[in-house]
Structure 1
Amino acid sequence: MGRKEDNIKKATEVMSVLPQIRNLCIAAHIDHGKTTLSDNLIAGAGMMSSDLAGAARVLDFDEQESARGITINAASASMVHAVDGTDYLINLIDTPGHVDFGGDVTRAMRAVDGCFILACAVEGPMPQTETVVRQALKEKVKPVLFINKVDRLINELQVTPEDMMNRFQETITKVNKLIKQFAPDEFKKDWQVSVLDGTVAFGSAYHNWGITIPYMKKSGVTMTDIFQYCNEEKQKELAQAAPVHEVLLDMAVTKLPSPVQAQPYRIPNIWTGDLESGIGKAMMACDPDAELAMMITKIWMDPHAGEVAVGRIYSGAISQGESVFAIGAAKPERVQQVSMMVGGDRITVPKVVAGNIAAITGIRSAAAGVTLSRDKDFTPFEAIRHYSDPVVTVAVEPKSMKDLPKFIDALRSLAKSDASLQVTTNQETGEALLAGMGELHLEITVYRIEEEQNIKVSVSPPIVVYREGVQGSNRGQAFEGKSPNRHNRFFFEIESLPSEVVDALRNGDLGDGPVRSSDAKETGNKFGELGMDKDLMRKIYAINGTNVLVNDTKGIQGLHETRELIIEAFNEVCKKGPIADEPVQGMFVRLTDAKLHEDAIHRGPAQTIPAVRNGIKGAMMRARTVLLEPMQKAFVSVPNDWLGQVTREVTNRRGIIEDMPSEGDVTTVVGVLPIAETFGFSNDIRAASQGRAVWNTENLGFEMLPPQLFDKVVGEIRTRKGLKPEPNPESYYSD
């Protein structure tokens, strides 16, 4: 193992020589050989056993999980590669194989300066390859091309050398067309890839060989030799004459930029702060002695160290034991360990400097996309995502109970690395409810549990989460809720809250939960600033999400003793409304009067809670309750040839097209559609555009369900929950 230790020592030395660092990723469609190639690069650089790398993949369930684990779990792997006697540190970041996950791929691209585009020699660039390339170019990441699986062209398709060169040329032309289309203007010409220039390599990641024109000159291996080796099934000898790791790492060092070269044109693209400020200039210069600016790109769970945050440092350095802010968190946190990912190992180092990828532990608030700095008010790299309501739920459980502990850990780390996922588990049955931003989001989450954690799971069909709200008001017609013993009565009036108040509640500006009497005045004043009656709002009892409860009674004896019970009943209704047991939003509840039994024993929980619950639900029915459905805005970028099919897909799903800006020969369809209609959307859009559409979605909150669908949807939800199909009428709650 001497070579590995030697490399670890070299890696820690080269780390501070910025021109000798390369940060890169492999951009490929799933199944195009990304994992095999990553393994072989790492093995070739002496970071793991080369026997495991290519061959072990034949058995996908092999015992060498630890060897393969590098590309499954590790967020990055660093290796040392010498070119002409100079050592270079190459940080390879794992990009998600699933393209549709905009945020993840973009974050991985943010951390790197160059990428290997992997294209299959047999299939050519797949439309999905196109998507990743587009994303890389958008982030100003310089590409080079590796045409993989060349052995299959020669052995399976029996092509002639001329044929082969024509196929290569086709692939290269396609990739260059993409670069011309999507690269920033200043690089459209310079970033074109070509065989002569040495920015195109071909080979077989699986059989461990590769070649470029510069390497042919260096090694004397020619195209004729390659044909001969493949035809005679001597790919092992070929792998010794032209090892893939050497060819590609040479290409990375000579053709891809160092952080010092890349940051001047990349920082303006990824950071919105003032570029003329001290920190702006420091990041442009990749200055290791300046203030710290780091972005977390991935969180993963280490069985020994717990949560490890991996990210790129753009300026300054991060040291063990210092305190830093995860921007958005209230207080600084202490960095327990700083390490580099060398091969599959985390090697602890005292500090890591700008231009590198560091792995740190101890920052509990870190999550993918979060910025770390010593300055609390630092402009983050990515706007902090405010909490948005997950709108689709699936139930997931492991197929085998022995996987349960592993499954629960996997869920915990997923929730951490993906802020838009909500996880609730039933510890006894192991069933978990995953609530996410849409069907695709949940599909990918399940894919991760199965592929990355190797846990087979069963999944329920997706369920949309609706909301209930009130559209009218029963002001002046208070609804009376009676207790079971008929001795206590509560009168409620309900209306909807103004939208600006709902937004303020959603952003957490007005607090949440019961409001103490001592805080009621201040809270009331805040509502007053938003245009509500300040004096009325000073009588506030509680806030639940975007719902508010106010005590608008005068001089009722004993009411303060039932205050907690009234709030408890209000919370129950907020969780499950009268129409379909769905959560309630945007509701303003006023308790206008109450008649209580003078003896406290007759107004305990068993009397007060049902009376208040029925009073609020009945008032909601009287004020006219509506069902709100979650909406999604979809941005679908598609070549103009497929535009008609894509717009048809959107409009067929009750979608409204808001805008269709076009750029060159690509048009972006901006549409708003109900999430209930988006199931299967990803597959249909792929089919309609032959895989060429790139899309992402953002949730738009809730809108009223069209009246003609009300009975049908309510009936379906209630039946699914085991309730009778029709909601209870208002009279049900007055008994």
Structure 2
Amino acid sequence: MVQLSVEQLQHALRKRKNIRNIAVIAHVDHGKTTLTDSLLARAGVIASSQAGDKRATDTLKYEQEKGITIKSTAISLYYNLEDKDVEQLGSEGTGFLINLVDSPGHVDFSPEVTAALRVVDGAMVVVDCVSGVSVQTETVLRQALSERIKPVLMMNKLDRAVFEKALTAEEIYCTLRDVVGSVNALIGIYCEDDSPMGDLMMDPAKGNVSFGSGLHGWGFNLKQFARLYSSKFGIKEERLMRRLWGEHYFSPASRQWSKQPGEGRVRGFNHFVLDPLLKVLRAATAGEKDQTSELLSKLGYTLSASDLESEGKEFMRKAMKLWLPAADAMLDMIVTHLPSPVTAQAYRTELLYEGPLDDEAAVAMKECDPNGPLMMYVAKMIPAAEKGRFYAVGRVFSGTVSPGQKVRIMGPDYVPNAVKKRDLYVKNVPRTVLMMGGQVQSVDNAPCGNIIGLVGVDRYLQKTGTITTFEEAHNLKVMRFSVSPVMRVAVDVVHPQDLPKLVEGLRRLNKAEPLVQCTSEEGQHIVAGAGELHLDICLKDLEEEYAGVPIKRSEPVVKFCETVIQESDRVCLAKSSNKLNRVFMTAEPLPDGLSEEIENGELSLDMKERSSHLVDVYDFDPKESRKIWCFGPNNSGPNMLVDATQGVDTTVIRDAMCAGFQWATEEGVLCGETMRGVKFRLRDAMIHPDPAHRGGGQIIPTSRRALLASVMTASPALLEPVYLAETQCPVSVMGNVMSVLSRRRGVMVEQIHHAGAPLCTIKAHLPVHEAFGFSEELKSQTSGQAFPQCIFDHWQVMPGDPLTPGTKAGDVVAAVRQRKGLVVSLPRLDSLLDTL
């Protein structure tokens, strides 16, 4: 095995043009981790014979047991690539350091993918060439493109098309072409016009697409075959690559190429790539060792005596690995088609940095300057060997981080130039480490362009943050997740004396999981996650690792939201307790799509830009569009408070009104759930001139009552989260799938039949409230032939009037109020409204 010394590693960290930071992303079970094994074997981290079976980046015990990746795992790999193409890249020598992150494919763990994408510059998208592009492939590719991560494509499980599906060469080509087309369609949808990343379209003829089998450790791209045939035909590699894909046909009789099919003409890809591949595969699988040896010798390869002693699939694996090792095809794509930090940070900085793009920090980030001020983003906390401690893992974008260095640790709530400095700590960095899968390697310093772990910083950061040496630095932008923590459970200890350990365990769980929210409500400890599997894993971690005590859990419950569906039927008046102040409010629904824009941070912070956008797109009143006081809850939620008064000096009560608005939108009137999609308008106000009579103690509760009353008069409704459930199944059990969906209020939105296979994919909208046990019921009704994948899609109004007991929405409101310990009956309107 190759073991780099600390000196060699330190030297590799400094060659910024020879660094590649990449994530491996895909749908669940498409083969990311088995493919990663080939890269680890090529770097000497694991034995070549273990590649495909070891799943080395699944470092946790239950990842190995379940056979799926649950946590993102970072590992640094070093390769010495002696290749004429590498020398033309402008690189610094032939040694390349690849910081690789293997990410989960299950939708419940997609926050791990988001964290991985923040610290990398490129992504290898893995697609099962038989199953094709799935819902999670689309999700992770969209996330990658939104972060300006450049993709390459690896089509895995080609052996399934050959042996399991027994497809002909032309059918295999059509299958692969369709996958490339599907990926390009997604890139076309989600990629910005004139992308600074350049041409992102996948094309095997360019070399940014590879094919192979991760399980058996073989793979190839068209460059390898073009190199094999170029001298024979006297054609340049690049020109021959173009002929080995698409509508290019070869006549063996006349040895001529044509762009039209015809008698005696064979598609170039089939004749020069698939035919020799299928011959070797079938001969090796059938155990025909003499024939296999003869075929490989024609290609310039010789099987060793130990290889010839192998039998069955093992012999096939060794023969194919000798001829077409998967790592070579993937490394060629990664090094040639994915950017170095020097290239990528030039166009990624404007998306990542919150401050002005001409300040010292931003300039150093754009130039990837190791001598500039330190700018590092901590994307994830990884549990350390010392119980209760974490490695703060992130990307160094500029400067150099080293042990003993004095740094500014800025949490997400830090505001530059604020009078009171919140979420800021000035401390020394105790130690820097390189992540090596389940282990770490200490390094003396880490220049920009690298993924690094810091020891000791976890004391000051909750989940993520920015670390810098520049006093005027702004934060790097907080990550946006593609899923929401819509499923919640209450946890408690079995033995009362273990309560302090549970509280400490919840703190650690909250730190380790990017999306999980651990809160206390009405005396209960609540854990919120993305789905059933996500919660199961989190609670297992809580019990066995973070708290270390037996716990009991409630049945999962769903997070709902409150909204309104029409404008208030009256102007609602609320008087302060001293009767000297009055506020008049109304509520109405926000236009469709605006809530999502606010949540995703897509609404401009500049008042003029935002006002113009709201007027042009959502038909806002021009005056009101410039008088938006705040969004809520938490100053970023999908509700807004607007000053619609005329001739009233409301500046003196603005802060108190905003505080009341945040309180009201955090705990709605129906059942104490957060509000969503509500626009509140302050219509009028009568304010006492004496500041002593209009303080926060008078205005905050008054404004809250007015806000709640305006909701009650605007046809309140309950919003429920909805999954997009994608189920792949044989056509024969499609009826069973549809009946399970209909029993759970599921609505089918799309049905896709797979060409050349008796399979179909059913996409349906399924309320999260109805999704408990959905997977188990589906498997029992289809004898395990249907596999569902659920991803949060949108919010929808729950049927029924929440104010009327006995309706669907009314029953849910009553159940939530009872669970939260609220009075079961809703507050009466006259208890919130005042009269003149």
**Normalized against structure 1, the TM-score is what?**
0.63
Matching of residue 275 in structure 1 with residue 357 in structure 2: yes
Selected match of 2:32 from 16, 31, 34: 34
Matching of residue 314 in structure 1 with residue 403 in structure 2: no
Matching of residue 394 in structure 1 with residue 489 in structure 2: yes
Does the 8 Å contact 1:47/1:343 carry over to 2? no
Matching of residue 360 in structure 1 with residue 443 in structure 2: no
Selected match of 1:433 from 514, 526, 529: 526
Q: Deviations over 1:314-347 (max 9, x none)?
A: 1111111222222422322332211111343211
Q: Deviations over 1:585-609 (max 9, x none)?
A: x9xxxxxxxxxxxxxxxxxxxxxxx
Does the 8 Å contact 1:219/1:241 carry over to 2? no
Match of 1:716 in 2: 815
Does the 8 Å contact 2:105/2:136 carry over to 1? no
Match of 1:252 in 2: 334
**Structural mapping, 1:294-443, within 5 Å:** 294-304=376-386, 306-322=389-405, 323-327=407-411, 328=414, 329-363=423-457, 364-383=459-478, 393-395=488-490, 411-417=506-512, 421-424=516-519, 433-435=526-528, 441-443=530-532
Does the 8 Å contact 2:395/2:449 carry over to 1? yes
> How far, CA to CA, are the matches of 1:179 and 1:624 in structure 2?
47
Measured at CA, do residues 451 and 158 of structure 1 come closer, stay the same or move farther in structure 2, by a change above 3 Å?
farther
> How far, CA to CA, are the matches of 2:671 and 2:71 in structure 1?
42
> How far, CA to CA, are the matches of 1:256 and 1:582 in structure 2?
45
Does the 8 Å contact 1:325/1:373 carry over to 2? yes
CA shift for structure 1 position 116: 0.9
SS at match of 1:3: coil
SS at match of 1:415: helix
Measured at CA, do residues 47 and 495 of structure 1 come closer, stay the same or move farther in structure 2, by a change above 3 Å?
farther
Measured at CA, do residues 302 and 577 of structure 1 come closer, stay the same or move farther in structure 2, by a change above 3 Å?
same
CA shift for structure 1 position 119: 0.8
Q: Which moved more, 1:111-120 or 1:495-504?
A: 495-504
Matching of residue 124 in structure 1 with residue 132 in structure 2: yes
Structure 2, unpaired ranges of 5+? 84-93, 230-272, 288-312, 415-422, 545-550, 564-570, 587-626, 636-648, 681-700, 727-740, 746-765, 779-786, 832-836
**Normalized against structure 2, the TM-score is what?**
0.56
Match of 1:156 in 2: 164
Measured at CA, do residues 443 and 35 of structure 1 come closer, stay the same or move farther in structure 2, by a change above 3 Å?
same
Does the 8 Å contact 1:324/1:372 carry over to 2? yes
CA shift for structure 1 position 91: 0.6
> How far, CA to CA, are the matches of 2:348 and 2:673 in structure 1?
46
Does the 8 Å contact 1:148/1:203 carry over to 2? yes
SS at match of 1:531: helix
- Between the two proteins, the alignment pairs up a number of residues equal to 588
CA shift for structure 1 position 287: 0.8
Selected match of 1:449 from 529, 538, 551: 538
> How far, CA to CA, are the matches of 1:110 and 1:123 in structure 2?
28
Match of 1:558 in 2: none
One-letter code of the match for 2:404? G
Measured at CA, do residues 465 and 178 of structure 1 come closer, stay the same or move farther in structure 2, by a change above 3 Å?
closer
CA shift for structure 1 position 130: 2.5
One-letter code of the match for 1:142? K
> How far, CA to CA, are the matches of 1:533 and 1:63 in structure 2?
54
> How far, CA to CA, are the matches of 2:818 and 2:65 in structure 1?
49
Does the 8 Å contact 1:502/1:546 carry over to 2? no
SS at match of 2:331: helix
Match of 2:144 in 1: 136
One-letter code of the match for 2:526? L
Measured at CA, do residues 20 and 722 of structure 1 come closer, stay the same or move farther in structure 2, by a change above 3 Å?
closer
> How far, CA to CA, are the matches of 1:384 and 1:150 in structure 2?
35
Q: Deviations over 1:203-248 (max 9, x none)?
A: 1111222122333467899524344334543123322433322331
> How far, CA to CA, are the matches of 2:366 and 2:509 in structure 1?
33
SS at match of 2:652: coil
**Structural mapping, 1:97-116, within 5 Å:** 97-99=105-107, 105-116=113-124
Q: Deviations over 1:600-647 (max 9, x none)?
A: xxxxxxxxxxxxxxxx9xx999x98988888689999x9xxxxxxxxx
Match of 2:21 in 1: 23
Does the 8 Å contact 1:69/1:344 carry over to 2? no
CA shift for structure 1 position 142: 1.8
Match of 1:79 in 2: 77
Measured at CA, do residues 72 and 341 of structure 1 come closer, stay the same or move farther in structure 2, by a change above 3 Å?
farther
> How far, CA to CA, are the matches of 1:114 and 1:577 in structure 2?
43
CA shift for structure 1 position 92: 0.8
> How far, CA to CA, are the matches of 1:42 and 1:186 in structure 2?
36
Measured at CA, do residues 64 and 108 of structure 1 come closer, stay the same or move farther in structure 2, by a change above 3 Å?
closer
CA shift for structure 1 position 80: 0.6
Does the 8 Å contact 1:73/1:300 carry over to 2? no
Does the 8 Å contact 2:6/2:443 carry over to 1? no
Does the 8 Å contact 2:107/2:790 carry over to 1? no
Measured at CA, do residues 582 and 289 of structure 1 come closer, stay the same or move farther in structure 2, by a change above 3 Å?
closer
Does the 8 Å contact 1:83/1:250 carry over to 2? no
> How far, CA to CA, are the matches of 2:633 and 2:157 in structure 1?
52
Measured at CA, do residues 61 and 146 of structure 1 come closer, stay the same or move farther in structure 2, by a change above 3 Å?
closer
Does the 8 Å contact 1:28/1:119 carry over to 2? yes
> How far, CA to CA, are the matches of 1:236 and 1:450 in structure 2?
42
Measured at CA, do residues 316 and 119 of structure 1 come closer, stay the same or move farther in structure 2, by a change above 3 Å?
same
Measured at CA, do residues 16 and 465 of structure 1 come closer, stay the same or move farther in structure 2, by a change above 3 Å?
same
CA shift for structure 1 position 282: 1.7
One-letter code of the match for 1:80? Y
Match of 1:228 in 2: 283
> How far, CA to CA, are the matches of 1:409 and 1:56 in structure 2?
34
SS at match of 1:24: strand
CA shift for structure 1 position 152: 1.5
Measured at CA, do residues 445 and 728 of structure 1 come closer, stay the same or move farther in structure 2, by a change above 3 Å?
same
Matching of residue 146 in structure 1 with residue 145 in structure 2: no
Give the CA RMSD over aligned residues: 5.9
Measured at CA, do residues 394 and 122 of structure 1 come closer, stay the same or move farther in structure 2, by a change above 3 Å?
same
Does the 8 Å contact 2:802/2:813 carry over to 1? no
> How far, CA to CA, are the matches of 1:266 and 1:420 in structure 2?
24
> How far, CA to CA, are the matches of 1:37 and 1:114 in structure 2?
16
Measured at CA, do residues 79 and 419 of structure 1 come closer, stay the same or move farther in structure 2, by a change above 3 Å?
closer
CA shift for structure 1 position 474: 8.4
Match of 2:216 in 1: 207
CA shift for structure 1 position 51: 5.1
CA shift for structure 1 position 39: 3.4
Q: Which moved more, 1:217-226 or 1:313-322?
A: 217-226
Structure 1, unpaired ranges of 5+? 479-490, 509-527, 538-542, 549-574, 587-615, 639-648, 654-675
**Structural mapping, 1:626-641, within 5 Å:** none
Matching of residue 531 in structure 1 with residue 652 in structure 2: yes
Measured at CA, do residues 227 and 197 of structure 1 come closer, stay the same or move farther in structure 2, by a change above 3 Å?
farther
Does the 8 Å contact 1:81/1:89 carry over to 2? yes
SS at match of 2:224: helix
Match of 1:291 in 2: 373
Does the 8 Å contact 1:112/1:141 carry over to 2? yes
Measured at CA, do residues 412 and 624 of structure 1 come closer, stay the same or move farther in structure 2, by a change above 3 Å?
closer
Does the 8 Å contact 1:107/1:369 carry over to 2? no
One-letter code of the match for 2:135? P
